[in-house]
Structure 1
């Protein structure tokens, strides 16, 4: 779904990524690489193929949009280095985009490891009228792209049935991205009258009536 923010076109992708059309930038939040391996280590039953699914999803997004730059909005890795770091390093070697990591609360891997594979690690990034952070942040006259919250919405039917979906949660000067990674969960947010909700339903992004 294409939307306009400050006269710029952004495309909301059902993977949870956002593409800034004029700048050829892909924006991705909360991948939480290493989480599946971390959980499996402690006996939590998560399918092994969930690891490859994260990399497949990112690759599909890059192949579709062909961006020149990637901005990860924090929590790229869930915890310390594990076997998935080697997979990430190999995956990154097959892509030539300039890559930024905006540090999140889970990003505890030493910056030197990212530097060795040409990932630029910073606390925030400002580009023209937009700035990028992990935690949702207000800043005068700038529009914020962030993550961290893993936003979700509940859709209710006429009966007792309900459905929880990931969503892009837009406030007047802010867009909170859904978590990109597998097994990351959702935090249900309650929209106000000036909020816009873009729910992810399968392979579609749909705008939800804010009064629902």
Structure 2
């Protein structure tokens, strides 16, 4: 866990790829991409069939550990809603019922036609952007004024040593007013940022590190 100050608020960046606001017991995440693994398998690409289950188990653990009373998902709850089966939805409903918390979502670019599915999982749907404590919550990172927390980008940072380098997911603050969340699913890629692009908080194993020099 890593303390993270954004705007006038204090957050905790967590190694499970969630952002926690302790004062309001609110948990933020983005880019869960439910159904992504199955969508790839339907296209003949052999990927593990337990990726969604593992992601949802991590979310349940995060909510239980933080005792969050509200969970915000900032877009791309689903990957390809039209390819989702009733069997998948039934499994996910069981998982989300274990959260025992208020579920809120801002739909992302992958969530086209996903309103009925999101509601079946127990989510209340909010417009983009939505104001929260003077901060814009959104999927897309188009912050033209004020502070914004967003997803969509799946930011990664490249850490360099003398003879080696490592790319890892990260939380990233750009121009002091835009906070990018890492993709919650580990089955994802994204652009590599450098310390010159943003203030990056790398996620390595069970730790979130302070920004590298």
Does residue 202 (structure 1) correspond to residue 202 (structure 2)? The answer is no
Does residue 94 (structure 1) correspond to residue 98 (structure 2)? The answer is yes
2:169 alignment counterpart = 166
TM-score between both structures, scaled by the size of structure 1: 0.91
TM-score between both structures, scaled by the size of structure 2: 0.90
User: Would the aligned equivalents of 2:60 and 2:98 in 1 still touch at CA under 8 Å?
Assistant: no
Provide the rounded CA distance (Å) in 1 between the counterparts of 2:144 and 2:71. Answer: 22
2:40 alignment counterpart = 39
1:25 alignment counterpart = 26
Q: Which stretches in structure 1 are left out of the alignment for 5+ residues?
A: none
1:111 alignment counterpart = 115
User: Would the aligned equivalents of 1:102 and 1:133 in 2 still touch at CA under 8 Å?
Assistant: yes
Give the C-alpha shift of residue 104 in structure 1: 0.5
2:138 alignment counterpart = 133
Give the C-alpha shift of residue 117 in structure 1: 4.2
Structural RMSD (CA): 1.7
| 1:72-83 alignment runs, 5 A limit | 72-80=73-81, 81-82=84-85, 83=87
Deviates more, 1:177-186 or 1:90-99: 90-99
Q: Which has the higher helix share?
A: 2
2:151 to 147, 150, 175: 147
User: Would the aligned equivalents of 2:20 and 2:27 in 1 still touch at CA under 8 Å?
Assistant: yes
Provide the rounded CA distance (Å) in 2 between the counterparts of 1:95 and 1:15. Answer: 16
Deviates more, 1:78-87 or 1:177-186: 78-87
Give the C-alpha shift of residue 147 in structure 1: 0.6
